[in-house]
């Protein structure tokens, strides 16, 4: 899928989450943003390409910039780069520096989005637009004519990184699999709530790996087809998830919901769903996508499944 198409889909899904203040809650979509960038970066023939990580400080600055409702580049900075996109329903524009998205040294990203009743666009104004802004850091530099060193993936990873999925990933990333305990069957439901785990809100990339892993182990035990993760279903799950109401996904999909103590790994819910014979064990389904959010001392997980073929 072309990058511009991915951005249009992303903004379409985020737009309904814009509050009455005009600000969108990007938190539930940050993993999708990271995945899209890292897929794009992984497709380059780069030997030193860093894996993108989310930066809350950059996200806050991007949101502040989006709230100004001016479709123009900020003053040039030596420490960060940027990309902008707007959608007014009848007009779309992607003000993109492609090189920023594949700048090997730029490994932190933060994005923000705002709804603008009136947005400045050159000498004109555009009404009722959604402005999407991403900031990248560090800004990075060109190596000859390229924003990276050409060569075999991960063959020239910088110090303090290691190769993960053909990208140079920080050794100290909070999503490092080395920091995650392998899933175990759920403890008794009466267990006292322990300390809240860090990052126990939206799903991390590692959360998704374990949710899918446990899901497929349960299905293998029943000799059912393995599922594959689908980013569009993940977007739908991020759109419908709520703390107080359990909304299903689109028609002709299956949905599972549940809450778990934020002191426990989110994939524990999958064991409970399997024991209860929930929709995740439907023989015909092929794909899944999930989202999570913090709800006080609980964590809500919503997963959507369908039977479409790729």
**What's the whole-number mean pLDDT along residues 7-22?**
53
**What's the whole-number mean pLDDT along residues 149-161?**
92
Q: How far apart are CA 162 and CA 166, in angstroms?
A: 10
Residue 100 or residue 185, greater confidence: 100
Are 40 and 129 in a shared domain?
A: yes
Using the 3D structure, point to which of 151, 170, 189 is the last residue of a domain: 170
Comparing CA positions, the residue from 47, 168, 8, 37 lying closest to residue 101 is 37
Are 267 and 147 in a shared domain?
A: no
* pLDDT, position 88: 65
Are 44 and 165 in a shared domain?
A: yes
Residue 269 lies in a domain: yes
Across the chain, how many H-helices and E-strands are there?
Answer: 7, 11
Are 136 and 42 in a shared domain?
A: yes
Residue 73 or residue 278, greater confidence: 73
Please give the share of the chain, as a percent, with pLDDT higher than 70.
Answer: 75
Residue 22 lies in a domain: no
Are 209 and 162 in a shared domain?
A: no
The values of phi and psi at residue 148, to 5°, are -160, 170
Are 26 and 111 within 8 A, CB to CB? Answer: yes
Exposed e or buried b per residue across 267-287, where buried means at least 16 C-beta atoms within 10 angstroms of its C-beta: bbbbbebbeeebbbbeeebeb
Using the 3D structure, point to which of 154, 170, 186 is the last residue of a domain: 170
pTM score, two decimals?
Answer: 0.55
* pLDDT, position 288: 92
Are 165 and 221 in a shared domain?
A: no
Are 148 and 257 in a shared domain?
A: no
Residue 2 lies in a domain: no
Q: How far apart are CA 239 and CA 250, in angstroms?
A: 11
Q: How far apart are CA 291 and CA 302, in angstroms?
A: 5
State the residue range of the domain holding 233: 205-306
Are 44 and 148 in a shared domain?
A: yes
Q: What is the DSSP letter of 283?
A: T
Comparing CA positions, the residue from 306, 214, 219 lying closest to residue 260 is 214
Q: How far apart are CA 132 and CA 59, in angstroms?
A: 11
Stretch among 69-83, 186-200, 224-238, 271-285 having the lowest mean pLDDT: 186-200
Does the pLDDT value for residue 97 go beyond 60? Answer: yes
Are 147 and 229 in a shared domain?
A: no
Alpha helices of the chain — where are they, by DSSP H? Answer: 3-14, 30-42, 56-66, 98-101, 205-221, 231-240, 268-275
Are 151 and 48 in a shared domain?
A: yes
The number of domains in the chain is 2
Burial environment of residue 223 by CB neighbours within 10 A (0 to 12, 13 to 18, 19 or more): exposed
Are 37 and 125 in a shared domain?
A: yes
Residue 79 lies in a domain: yes
Residue 286 lies in a domain: yes
Q: 258 has which bridge partners?
A: 301
Provide the sign of the torsion angle of the four alpha carbons 4, 8, 9, 11, taken in this order. Answer: positive
Residue 277 or residue 296, greater confidence: 296
The predicted-structure confidence for 276-295, as pLDDT tens digits, reads as follows 666 778 888 999 999 999 89
Residue 9 lies in a domain: no
The values of phi and psi at residue 170, to 5°, are -60, 135
Q: Give the number of other Cβ atoms within 10 Å of residue 10's Cβ.
A: 20
**What's the whole-number mean pLDDT along residues 249-271?**
84
Residue 1 lies in a domain: no
The values of phi and psi at residue 103, to 5°, are -75, 115
Are 102 and 147 in a shared domain?
A: yes
- The answer, yes or no, to whether the previous bond of 7 is cis (omega within 30 of 0) is no
Residue 48 lies in a domain: yes
- Domain containing 259 — which CATH number? 3.40.33.10
Does the pLDDT value for residue 243 go beyond 90? Answer: no
Using the 3D structure, point to which of 170, 196, 221 is the last residue of a domain: 170
Using the structure block, give the residue that is written with the tokens 């990203």: 109
Averaged pLDDT of the chain: 78
């Amino acid at each position: 899928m072309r990058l511009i198409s991915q951005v249009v889909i992303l903004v379409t899904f985020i737009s309904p989450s814009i509050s009455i203040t005009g600000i969108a809650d990007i938190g539930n979509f940050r993993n999708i943003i990271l995945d899209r960038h890292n897929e794009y970066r992984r497709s380059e023939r780069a030997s030193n390409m860093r894996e993108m990580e989310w930066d809350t400080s950059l996200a806050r600055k991007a949101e502040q910039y989006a709230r100004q409702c001016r479709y123009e580049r900020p003053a040039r900075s030596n420490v960060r780069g940027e990309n902008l996109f707007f959608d007014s329903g009848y007009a779309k524009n992607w003000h993109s520096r492609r090189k920023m998205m594949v700048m090997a040294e730029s490994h932190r990203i933060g994005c923000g989005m705002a709804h603008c009743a009136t947005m400045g666009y050159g000498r004109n104004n555009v009404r009722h637009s959604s402005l999407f802004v991403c900031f990248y850091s560090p800004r990075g530099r060109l190596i000859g004519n390229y924003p990276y060193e050409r060569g075999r993936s991960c063959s020239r990873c910088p110090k303090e990184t290691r190769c993960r999925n053909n990208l140079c990933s920080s050794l100290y990333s909070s999503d490092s699999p080395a920091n995650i305990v392998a899933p175990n069957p759920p403890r008794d439901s009466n267990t006292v709530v322990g300390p809240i785990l860090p990052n126990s809100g939206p799903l991390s990339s590692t959360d998704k790996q374990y949710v899918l892993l446990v899901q497929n182990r349960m299905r293998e035990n029943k000799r059912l087809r393995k599922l594959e993760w689908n980013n569009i279903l993940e977007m739908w799950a991020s759109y419908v998830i709520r703390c107080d109401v359990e909304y299903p996904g689109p028609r002709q999909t299956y949905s599972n919901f549940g809450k778990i103590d934020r002191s426990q790994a989110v994939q524990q819910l999958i064991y409970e769903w399997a024991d209860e014979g929930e929709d995740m064990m439907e023989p015909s389904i092929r794909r899944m996508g999930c989202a999570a959010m913090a709800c006080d001392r609980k964590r809500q997980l919503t997963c959507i499944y369908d039977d479409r073929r790729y």
